[in-house]
Amino acid sequence: MLETGTKAPAFSLPDQNGDMHTLEEYRGKKVILYFYPKDSTPGCTKQACGFAELYPQFMEKGAVVLGVSKDSVKSHKNFETKYGLPFTLLSDPEKEVIQAYDVWKEKKNYGKVSMGVVRTTYLIDEEGVIVKAMDKVKAAENPQQMLESLE
C-alpha cells in the first residue's frame, strides 16, 4: 500500500464506456480511488452499491469516486448497468495502475494462495497527494468511512 503524504501515481485508463481518464484531469477535486477484485461478486457489489447510494453526498463535498479492477470495459459496462452505478469504473487488465498503487498481492482463500487485488481505497487531495490509505477494507463499511473522511 502506498503511504499517505506521497504523490499519487499518474494513470490513464478506459472507463466502462471506453473513454480514457487520467488522474490529472481530476486536479482540484478530491478523488476516492478504490481498487476491488471483481465485478458482480458479492463483496464488490456491496461496496459499489454503497458508493452509489452515497454518491450525491460525495458530489456535495466535491469528491469523485473512481473504481478500478482488472475486469474488461465490457464487464464494467455490465456491472454499471445491472446496478445503476453513477460513478466511473476504470479497467486495468494489464494491472499497470493496480501495481503502481501496490494493491496486487498474495491472497489466501480457503487455504489456497493466489495473486489478486487486495481491496484498498485511497483518498487523493486536490493537489494529487494521497491523504488517506485504507487496505483490507470491509466492502460494506468502506463507502461510509470514506464519506466521513471528507468531513
State yes or no: is 44 an active-site residue. Answer: yes
Sign of CA dihedral 131, 89, 71, 9: negative
Can you read off the three cell numbers belonging to residue 8? 499519487
Cβ neighbours of residue 10 under 8 Å, at least 6 residues apart?
22, 23, 24
Identified catalytic residue from 44, 48, 123, 134: 44
| Amino acid identity, position 74 | K
Question: Diameter of the chain by CA atoms?
Answer: 44
Cell of 69: 479492477
| Active centre residues (catalytic) | 44
